[in-house]
Amino acid sequence: MQRKIRILFLAMVIAGCLIVTGFGNSASAMDMASKEGIFKVSYTSEPEAIPIGQMISWKLLVLTADGEPVVDAKISIEGGMPAHGHGLPTRPQVTKNLGQGNYLIEGLKFSMPGRWVVTFIISSGGKTDSVTFPLQLQ
């Protein structure tokens, strides 16, 4: 539980420090290194323009720091609206390993416009790291 609180706090700090301009509700080509640099992570959204109040899915690509696909990752998802103090209205999860480091995330829903964060906690090969994506939805 303390780990989740620390991760959520870190996500809130990161979200508060990042300025996302021109991003709107589009979720194409967003990629980041994980907190400790163990993984490189990117996602695409289906649909690309993130709607408010509708269930969507993301395809997550997880690579090693050297750019090799992570084919055996265990991934959990957290997130929410730091300014509002609440989490995601759903419990998104990995529903399919698509191969070559790609994972299908289903059950994402953003219930209102504003600043959101989505954090992926990734474990593979005895290593665990996290990455937090900030979103500014309109």
Tell the burial category of 70 from Cβ atoms under 10 Å away from its Cβ (0-12, 13-18, 19+).
buried
Q: Give 12-27 pLDDT, tens digit per residue.
A: 444 443 333 333 444 4
CATH number of the domain within which 109 lies = 2.60.40.3340
Residue 96: closest CA among 88, 87, 106: 106
Measured between alpha carbons, how far is 130 from 118 in angstroms, rounded to an integer?
A: 10
Which pLDDT band, with edges at 50, 70 and 90, does 31 fall under? Answer: confident
Q: Give 32-87 pLDDT, tens digit per residue.
A: 999 999 999 999 999 999 999 999 999 999 999 999 999 999 999 999 999 999 99
Measured between alpha carbons, how far is 71 from 76 in angstroms, rounded to an integer?
A: 15
Domain, as residue range, for 12? 2-137
Number of compact structural domains in the chain: 1
Measured between alpha carbons, how far is 94 from 121 in angstroms, rounded to an integer?
A: 12
